[in-house]
Amino acid sequence: MRTSAIGYGLLATAVILPLSLVGTSTTAAGSSASTATVDDPSGSRVDLVVKDTAPQAGLAVKSKTWSADGVDYNKDGAQDVWIGYHGQGGKLWRNNGAGVYHRVAKAAWKATNPDGKTIDRHDCAWADVDRDGRKDAYCSAGRFIRNIVKDADRDNEMWMQKRPGRFRDVARPKVLGDVCGRGRHVAFLNANGDRWPDLFLGNDVQRPLQDECDGNPNLPNERSKIFINKRGDGFKYVRDWWDY
């Protein structure tokens, strides 16, 4: 089993032994191995050995990061990984089946918009939004220290995988932008009991300063939100379901 340790230092993957254990663990950046005593499913005590294999896996890098998601985006049975290098873009890494990763979809999750301005991307979550058999990714974006109102090229993103390994951001057409939200954590869920994945967007608390989003009836509120999937044809923000 392999997992990833994400932090503000070296990105590390970990080989976990014994493989019969359920769960994951991580090792501190720069260390070669770590051992911890844990309970296995049978109730006995065993040693869990974690080894940093980031260089061999092709994932070793010193970078500030915000989030990472394990996802089998191409349905080959091997877990791939998306990593968000905060302020430096996000990258999707394909697992070759032996725990070695190669970057794919290089045109997506760029660090800057077409005007060269940094995108304050934070968390991403994966789900088959339109039920076409391919995983898509929704990503939140913040508003920087200045509390800017996010324009279309720095707003939250909905990356649709319409062709294998090809992603396109369609957040605005699918009504998933949130220009006033300080986007942080996101998660897909089944909010209304149908077969279509809905979305929870967790925004950070409002900054204690006045900005364009305060009192402007033409702009959305700054709260966290639930968006209901309209059977693959966009989303609808339902304020009554999460008015916090």
| pLDDT grade for 244, boundaries at 50, 70 and 90 | low
CA distance linking residue 11 with residue 2, whole number of Å = 13
Q: What is the pLDDT of residue 63?
A: 86
**Domain co-membership, 173 together with 95:** yes
55/75 Cα distance (integer angstroms) = 25
pLDDT of 2 higher than 90: no
Q: Does 166 lie in the same domain as 90?
A: yes
Residues 146 and 106 in one domain: yes
Residue 6: the pLDDT is 37
Closest to 21 measured CA to CA, from 38, 33, 4: 38
Q: Report d(CA 183, CA 171) in Å as an integer.
A: 14
Query: Is there a single domain that holds both residue 101 and residue 179?
Result: yes
| Closest-CA residue to 159 (of 182, 183, 184, 135) | 135
CA-wise closest residue to 155 among 142, 145, 146, 168: 142
For position 231, what pLDDT does the model report? 94
The reported pLDDT for the residue numbered 18 is 37
Please tell me the total count of domains within the chain: 2
Q: Is 126 helix (H, G, I), strand (E, B) or coil?
A: strand
Q: Is there a single domain that holds both residue 80 and residue 51? A: no
Cα(first)–Cα(last) distance of the chain, in Å?
39
Distance CA 97, CA 135 (A): 18
pTM of the model: 0.81
End residue of a domain, out of 35, 59, 83? 59
**Tens-place pLDDT, residues 129-158:** 999 999 999 999 999 988 888 988 999 999
Residues 53 and 173 in one domain: no
Q: What is the CA radius of gyration of the chain?
A: 19
Q: List the one residue out of 87, 83, 103, 90 whose CA is nearest residue 6.
A: 83
| Each residue's pLDDT tens digit, 99-128 | 999 999 999 999 999 999 999 999 999 999
Domain boundary among 10, 40, 59: 59
* Domain shared by 76 and 53, yes or no: no
- 235 and 191 within one domain: yes
Task: Answer for the pair 182, 204: CB distance below 8 angstroms, yes or no.
Answer: yes
Let me know whether 114 and 10 are in one domain.
no
Each residue of 44-87: pLDDT tens digit? 777 888 888 889 999 988 888 999 999 999 999 999 999 999 99
Looking at the structure, tell me whether residues 158 and 208 fall in a common domain: yes
Domain range holding 26? 1-59
**Domain-terminating residue out of 59, 86, 105:** 59
pLDDT value of residue 57: 93
pLDDT at 9: 35
User: Looking at the predicted structure, is the pLDDT value of residue 205 above 70?
Assistant: yes
User: Do 3 and 27 meet the contact criterion of CB atoms below 8 Å apart?
Assistant: no
Do residue 113 and residue 38 come from a single domain?
Answer: no
Q: What is the pLDDT of residue 17?
A: 34
Residues 102 and 148 in one domain: yes
Question: Tens of pLDDT along 6-48?
Answer: 333 334 444 333 333 333 333 334 446 676 676 767 777 778 8
In the prediction, which pLDDT does 45 show? 78
| pLDDT at residue 112 in the model | 95
Q: How many CB atoms lie within 10 A of CB 168?
A: 14
SS3 for 31? Answer: coil
Burial of 100 (0-12, 13-18, 19+ CB in 10 A): middle
Which DSSP letter does residue 120 get? -
What is the predicted pLDDT for the residue at 27?
34
